């Protein structure tokens, strides 16, 4: 499917929007595009990006953890309406809980919050797993968990370093007392904190660490071998991993082979909301499993249909974990059908699935290599998805 239009579009964004890019497109179950562009070291133009290059998936990681939870629902180990405190009883230790401001994840400043609302109280026992999956729990979007998880940044990763379980325990302890930012079951408030707690629930239900749980429930059955947390720690060479941001605020180094997200890094690199690395091919294959109702996914067609249809709406439309295509200005472009579902990641990654066209598009980049500013990634996402649809229509 490579075309002059595709190459021209990528040339307009490489390396200014991102220095590394990998795309895998599947149409009607067949791979029609699987290519990579750019450099791991763009300054020296060394280490060309390959189709086997791993990218930091950021929030696309959520899909794997949420699918793991749905597999547990399918196995009747848990229900969507089960309360979070039934699995994490300590979540209710401060009850009722107050309301307060969340933090901006980029500036770390606390966001404005109405003084009168601070007097409101929330029953944490009313939060269900459906609330977590639809981001209607009222939990804050973001708080600096990583500063509670350890007194200093973790050391630069090297092969053989152990997972810092004590960091996760400290981070979890902090999350149990954060004030709510909204009422339970009201408007969508996209919350990393909620999915971090969902990840802990998956681990407890499976009786294993989260990385082992998602391997057992999703990754191993689908043979998605490139997915990994903490790739350098697990012995993978940095030369095969796209680097992300130069972290001058906390780590004092470029995140390369360790997760970009501070909260995921701070709690040991394994979390529900971020932390996974993978190739574009394996991300697309995961999407194809959802599209094709692959029985190895261990999610029935009924539950899959529920997960990919609107369960909460407003400025954002959500299923159970999945984002649904918005009516205007979607990152999936204008030409994907209204039934499309997917997810984006802050590092510059995305997975979009159009069931009407039997189309799966995994587009992985490291757009935060240059910093956190919005510098063309949204425009690129829209353009690449529209181009792919046009190319399919012309064949």
| pLDDT at residue 395 greater than cutoff 80 | no
The reported pLDDT for the residue numbered 289 is: 98
Tokens of 160: 């053989």
Q: What is the mean pLDDT of residues 18-44?
A: 97
Q: What is the mean pLDDT of residues 177-200?
A: 96
Supply the DSSP string of 296-362, one letter for each residue.
Answer: GG---HHHHHHHTS-SB-SSS-BSSS-EE--SSS-TTTTTS-TT-EEEEETTTEEEEEETTTTEEEE
The reported pLDDT for the residue numbered 28 is: 97
* Per-residue pLDDT tens over the stretch 274-290: 999 999 999 999 999 99
The reported pLDDT for the residue numbered 374 is: 78
Q: What is the mean pLDDT of residues 296-321?
A: 95
* Per-residue pLDDT tens over the stretch 202-228: 999 999 999 999 999 999 999 999 999
| pLDDT at residue 152 greater than cutoff 90 | no
Which of 285, 275, 283, 247 minimizes the C-alpha distance to 369?
Answer: 247
Lowest mean pLDDT, pick from 65-79, 101-115, 150-164, 229-243 = 150-164
Alpha-carbon distance values, 301 to 65, 71, 89, 306, 389 (Å): 19, 12, 32, 9, 26
Residue with tokens 């697309």: 284
Cβ count within 10 A of residue 329:
9
In sign, the C-alpha dihedral spanning 263, 269, 272, 275 is positive
- Rounded CA-CA distance 204/78 in Å is 11
């Amino acid at each position: 499917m490579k075309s002059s239009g595709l190459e021209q579009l990528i040339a307009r964004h490489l390396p200014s929007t991102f220095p590394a890019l990998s795309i895998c497109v599947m149409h009607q179950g067949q791979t029609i595009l699987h290519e990579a562009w750019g450099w791991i070291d763009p300054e020296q133009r060394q280490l060309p990006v390959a189709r086997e290059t791993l990218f930091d998936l950021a929030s696309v990681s959520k899909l794997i953890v949420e699918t793991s939870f749905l597999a547990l629902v399918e196995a009747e180990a848990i229900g969507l309406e089960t309360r979070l405190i039934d699995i994490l009883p300590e979540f209710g230790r401060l009850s009722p809980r107050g309301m307060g401001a969340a933090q901006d994840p980029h500036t770390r400043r606390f966001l404005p919050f109405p003084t009168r609302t601070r007097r409101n109280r929330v029953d944490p026992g009313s939060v269900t797993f459906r609330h977590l999956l639809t981001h209607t729990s009222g939990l804050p979007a973001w708080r600096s968990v990583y500063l509670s998880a350890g007194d200093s940044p973790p050391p630069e990763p090297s092969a053989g370093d152990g997972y810092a379980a004590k960091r996760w325990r400290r981070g979890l302890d902090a999350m149990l007392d954060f004030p709510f930012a909204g009422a339970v079951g009201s408007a969508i408030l996209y919350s990393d904190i909620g999915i971090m707690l969902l990840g802990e629930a998956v681990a407890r239900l499976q009786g294993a660490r989260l990385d082992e749980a998602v391997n057992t429930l999703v990754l191993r059955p689908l043979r998605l071998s490139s997915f990994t947390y903490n790739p350098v720690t697990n012995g993978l060479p940095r030369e095969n991993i796209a680097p992300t941001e130069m972290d001058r605020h906390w780590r004092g180094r470029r995140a390369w082979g360790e997760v970009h997200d501070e909260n995921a890094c701070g709690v040991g690199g394994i979390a529900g909301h971020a932390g996974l690395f993978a190739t574009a091919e394996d991300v697309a294959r995961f999407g194809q499993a959802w599209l094709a109702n692959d029985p190895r996914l261990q999610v029935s067609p009924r539950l899959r249909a529920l997960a990919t249809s609107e369960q909460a709406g407003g400025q954002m439309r959500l299923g159970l974990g999945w984002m649904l295509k918005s009516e205007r200005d979607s990152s999936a472009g204008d030409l994907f059908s209204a039934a499309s579902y997917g997810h984006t990641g802050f590092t510059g990654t995305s997975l979009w699935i159009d069931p009407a066209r039997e189309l799966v598009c995994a587009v992985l980049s490291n757009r935060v290599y240059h910093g956190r500013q919005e510098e063309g990634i949204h425009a690129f996402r829209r353009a690449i998805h529209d181009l792919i649809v046009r190319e399919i229509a012309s064949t």
